Amino acid sequence: MNAATALAPILKNHSTDPLLTPSEAAAYIGVTGNTLSVWRCVGRYNIQFVKVGRLVKYRKSALDAFLDRRTIGGKA
């Protein structure tokens, strides 16, 4: 099952800016959950996240902003 297929039911049932679990967020940006956890812990990239108690969630818009910042090139 690819990431898009796994996320489809989740995104369908959430608002336009859903909160994703670390596993869902990692799948969305194409890395492993462990990689995302390491990035968060060591501050490798500034990806905003929401902390509720011990739970960590990522807004889809924060992940999109991260991908936009990491995009190189484009139209001339």
Domain tally, the chain: 1
Would 20 be classed as within a structural domain? yes
Predicted local distance difference test score (pLDDT) of residue 56: 96
| Mean pLDDT, 10 residues at a time, the chain of 76 residues | 70 76 97 96 93 95 95 76
Would 76 be classed as within a structural domain? no
Owning domain of residue 40: 3-70
Predicted local distance difference test score (pLDDT) of residue 59: 96
Predicted local distance difference test score (pLDDT) of residue 5: 75
Q: What is the pTM of this model?
A: 0.74
Would 28 be classed as within a structural domain? yes
Would 10 be classed as within a structural domain? yes
Contact between residue 15 and residue 49 where contact means Cβ atoms under 8 Å apart: no
Predicted local distance difference test score (pLDDT) of residue 1: 65
